[in-house]
Amino acid sequence: MQNNNNRLLYRWGGSAALVAAIVFLLTLIYVFGFLFSLGLTEEMLDTPAALLPWVAAHAGAYTGLYWIFLLSILALFPVPLALYELVKANRPHLARLACAVGMAGVTLGTLGPLVNAGITPILAQAYISGPTQADQATLRVLSLSVGEMGLLLRLISDLFLGVWLGLNGLLIIQKASANVSRWFGWYGIGLAFFILVVFIGKPLDVLDLEPALGLLLAVAYGWLGISLLRAKIVVG
């Protein structure tokens, strides 16, 4: 019975990780392909006076980005549990801590897209509806505040997910496994340090490596998904 439960958990976790990887890649394509073709630029994201009119004209396309991103996060919910089951025999307490951190990261990751998708289009419509210059200035400040809030939630979520990947990476390289390559363990540790660099550099406008981070996370989730789907065959 326990082996059957493990197989089911690995199947769900592996499939979910692959879905997350694919949707993460779709998010990058959506931004740099579709939204940029509609006139969005990176500079506009930090300039409410330019962003808000664009959002008002393309509200559906703009909110679509955050719904896609939310889907990629929601798909991750079973993954920390499945990975915990896979590595818990190595060091149960550390594996349990890693699982809790991973679940916290996924939960926090759902908040940022909801903030941006729910509030920014409303501010955009108010901005173009003909308020006074003072009202427009207030709306620009509110837009910046919402953007910063969404960014902070996203970065904190990434930080938690980085700790999750790093701790599991340590567990994987400490003990050889037929299910997960040690190379994935090293990749997880390296990705954790990269996330820390993004977490520090992005708010300070020193480095903008978020697009690269999205690609690296997609690789990690895809690799993990394949490992979990293979694990259901090995365990038993």
DSSP string, 133-199: HHHHHHHHHHHHHHHHHHHHHHHHHHHHHHHHHHHHHHHHHHS--SSS-HHHHHHHHHHHHHHHHHH
Quick one: tokens of 21?
Answer: 């990887």
* pLDDT for res 47: 86
pLDDT value at residue 235? 40
How many domains, in total, are found in the chain? 1
> What is residue 203's predicted lDDT score, i.e. its pLDDT?
77
What pLDDT is attached to residue 3?
63
How far is residue 94's CA from residue 117's CA, in Å, rounded to a whole number?
36
H/E stretch holding 194 reads: helix 182-201
> What's the CA gap between 208 and 211, in Å, rounded?
8
Range of the domain at 105: 2-234
Rounded Cα–Cα distance for residues 175 and 187 (Å): 15
| pTM, two decimal places | 0.89
Task: Supply the pLDDT for residue 177.
Answer: 59
Token pair of 5 as six digits: 């439960």
Q: What is the pLDDT along the chain (236 residues), one digit of tens a residue?
A: 556 667 888 999 999 999 999 999 999 899 989 999 999 988 888 788 888 899 999 999 999 999 999 999 999 999 999 999 888 887 889 999 999 999 999 999 999 899 988 898 888 888 888 667 657 888 888 988 888 898 899 999 999 999 999 999 999 998 755 577 889 999 999 999 999 999 998 877 777 788 889 899 999 999 999 999 987 544 44
Q: How far is CA 31 from CA 64, 67, 109, 174, in A?
A: 10, 13, 18, 39
- Specify the pLDDT at position 211: 82
pLDDT at 89: 81
Non-local CB neighbours of 161 within 8 Å, separated by 6+ positions: 102, 105, 106, 109, 195, 217
The answer to whether the CB of 167 falls within 8 A of the CB of 94 is yes
CA–CA dist 137, 19 (Å, integer): 41
Secondary structure letter of residue 180 according to DSSP: S
CB 55 within 8 A of CB 140: no
**Crossing angle of helices 133-174 and 111-127, rounded to 10°:** 160
